[in-house]
Amino acid sequence: MPSSSSSSAPTPAAPSKMYADDVSVVVVLLDANPFFWSSAASPLPFSSFLSHVLPFLNSVLLMNQMNQLVVIATGRNYCDYIYDSSAPTNRKTGNGKMTALSCDLVAKLEEFVVKDEKLGKGESNGAVMSSLLSGSLSMALCFIQRIFRSGTFHPHPRILCLHGSPDGPEQYVAIMNAIFSAQRSMVPIDSCYIGALNSAFLQQASYITGGVYLKPQLMDGLLQYLTTVFATDLHSRAFLQLPKSVGVDFRASCFCHKKTIDMGYICSVCISIFCKHHKKCLTCGSVFGQAQSDAASETNKRKTIRT
């Protein structure tokens, strides 16, 4: 080899194939809605939930030393990044040991919950309120876009929603947009839903993006569910028997009242959904239904008169 080759362009940071193959970047959306966890709808206390989730998060990091883990807390009023394993403070210490994930994460989570509760003061009226899932999904996708743009070689990221709060139909449009954006970027959205009823949003998210939707039956075995279903990288997933979706609730929310509906009217121009008939589309202003057919029959009448 000529000596000049040694002074060529800088080599990529990591070898290509291996780095992109069995390495995981997992963005975990952790439901920290204080109103849900303090309500009767939550099947277990938040502290028990964390006692299952923290060992799982640690196991993801232990599977491969290049794995990256980001945790976003989803609250009632806001969302925030609460942990990133690639942050300089969370990297390996000088003696090669990993710094403890739990202390840092739990402290940040505590701050988050206090702030979220403060922001939502006076709002609680007994009913269980939904979490800001659309916000945390958008934050996760922004983070993933940054990874995509960071260079040619990067692991394949995925999103994992650990969720319990009920769906908020008012977030329908924002959540569907996030789901389609994830589908376009080929980012699977996995969901582990522990609420009382199934979550139509998460069922659709996992179905559309090719992720796994799981509703654990036994809360005592939550850690086992998490590690067997969600800990493996996307490459190894092809060799596993993962839970198949038994049915997806495809119901939509109307754009006019943000209510979940079984049947409705759809604008053929912009695909907005309405629960009742409108003369004009509230989104794009297209005239439809009776009004348009009246206009059409008017022109038809004119035509027939002319002929």
Residue 274: which of 254, 253, 252 has the closest Cα? Answer: 254
Q: Please state, in angstroms and rounded to a whole number, the distance separating the CA atoms of residues 86 and 105.
A: 14
Tell me how far, at minimum, the Cβ of 283 lies from Zn ion, in Å: 5
Residue 120 near residue 114, CB atoms below 8 Å: no
With respect to Zn ion, which residue has the nearer C-beta, 206 or 272? 272
Long-range contacts of 4-13 (CB under 8 A, 24+ apart): 12/151, 12/152, 12/153, 13/151, 13/153
With respect to Zn ion, which residue has the nearer C-beta, 235 or 258? 258
Tell me how far, at minimum, the Cβ of 286 lies from Zn ion, in Å: 5
DSSP letters spanning 114-138: HHHHHHTTTT--SSPPPP-HHHHHH
Token couple for 39: 């309500």
Instruction: Tell me how many residues contact Zn ion (CB under 5 A).
Output: 12
Tell me how far, at minimum, the Cβ of 264 lies from Zn ion, in Å: 8
Q: Give the contact letters, 66-105, x = binds to Zn ion (CB under 5 A), - = no.
A: ----------------------------------------
With respect to Zn ion, which residue has the nearer C-beta, 153 or 288? 288
**Rule CB under 5 A: which of 234-293 touch Zn ion?**
254, 256-257, 267, 269-270, 272, 275, 281, 283-284, 286
| Cross-strand pairs, 83 | 71
Tell me how far, at minimum, the Cβ of 250 lies from Zn ion, in Å: 17
Token couple for 294: 């009246």
Tell me how far, at minimum, the Cβ of 207 lies from Zn ion, in Å: 24
DSSP letters spanning 155-198: -EEEEEEEE-SPP-GGGHHHHHHHHHHHHHTT--EEEEE-SSS-
Tell me how far, at minimum, the Cβ of 168 lies from Zn ion, in Å: 15
With respect to Zn ion, which residue has the nearer C-beta, 161 or 254? 254
Token couple for 190: 């996995």
Burial of 54 (0-12, 13-18, 19+ CB in 10 A): middle
Residue 212: which of 224, 223, 226 has the closest Cα? Answer: 226
With respect to Zn ion, which residue has the nearer C-beta, 197 or 270? 270
With respect to Zn ion, which residue has the nearer C-beta, 16 or 268? 268
With respect to Zn ion, which residue has the nearer C-beta, 48 or 283? 283
Residue 167 near residue 130, CB atoms below 8 Å: yes
Tell me how far, at minimum, the Cβ of 258 lies from Zn ion, in Å: 7
Binding site for Zn ion (CB under 5 A): 254, 256-257, 267, 269-270, 272, 275, 281, 283-284, 286
